Amino acid sequence: MKRIRRIALGLLILLTAAVAALALLRWRGLLLLPQEPTPQVWEVFGVDVSAYQGEVDWVRLAEQGVDFAFCKATEGSGYADATFPRNWAGAQAAGVMVGAYHFFSYDSPGETQADNFIAQVPVTPGALPPVVDIEFYGDKLQNPPEREEVRAILDPLLERLEAHYGQKPILYVTYRSYALYIRGEYRDYPLWVSRPLLAPLDKAWTFWQYSHSARLEGYRGSEERIDLNVFRGSMEELLALGKSGE
């Protein structure tokens, strides 16, 4: 009986500690729910969009607290998102600070990927730095390329973008792409980390994508959901990040 009581007490202590830890994370804004726009702990809130969101009403998104947005511009060396020009102009007109992102390809040279992005995204004073989105697709999900192979593509891409826009590109990473290709390198590049629910406590992130499954008003496309993000800083610091290329 005493042994059972000790086990029960131990479990109660562990449960209490777990609840307290979750409460602390929640209080500090490091645990956010998927459908939680403009979380109170964070001053700066944003979204990211692509053709999947279709036609976007940027004024309506701004009315729901959206301060910034990343819009998909390109993918690889040949694809351009048809909604990008409209999103780029519409976000700025609505007072939403905007940046463009490029979906990284493991299958074409970094130089031609940079050319594709540069052809679509104008140099715009005050815009957020360009983003390189590093994740996996197709057969790369099961067979990710070697680190050296990826660096041979990624490094020239980053160099070309920085030279053209005058800003260090932002690196969008998943847990896996960070571990395979970024960890221990690229320390002076801002990180935009995708991790639903729980903040990436082990990384010096600048942007955190905390939800892939939210629903807001103000867009109509094939995808009903929209990604939610926060910036790790004040609005003044975000504006300063945009001015880094001026």
Which residues are catalytic, by number? 48, 135
Q: Give 109's strand partners.
A: none
Query: What residue spans of 125-181 are helical by DSSP H?
Result: 147-165, 175-177
Could you report how far apart the first and last alpha carbons of the chain are, in Å? 72
User: Which whole-number Å values give the CA distances from 199 to 28, 30, 31, 32, 221, in the listed order?
Assistant: 10, 5, 6, 8, 29
Report residue 21: phi and psi, to 5°.
-65, -45
User: Which whole-number Å values give the CA distances from 44 to 216, 217, 237, in the listed order?
Assistant: 17, 19, 10
CA distance 10 to 123: 60
Closest CA to 80 of 89, 71, 72, 91: 72
Is 51 exposed, middle or buried (CB count within 10 Å of its CB: 0-12, 13-18, 19+)?
Answer: middle
Question: For residue 23, how many other CB atoms are within 10 A of its CB?
Answer: 11
Strand (E) positions, 88-223?
97-103, 131-134, 170-173, 191-194, 207-214, 219-220
Instruction: Show the tokens assigned to 53.
Output: 């969101």
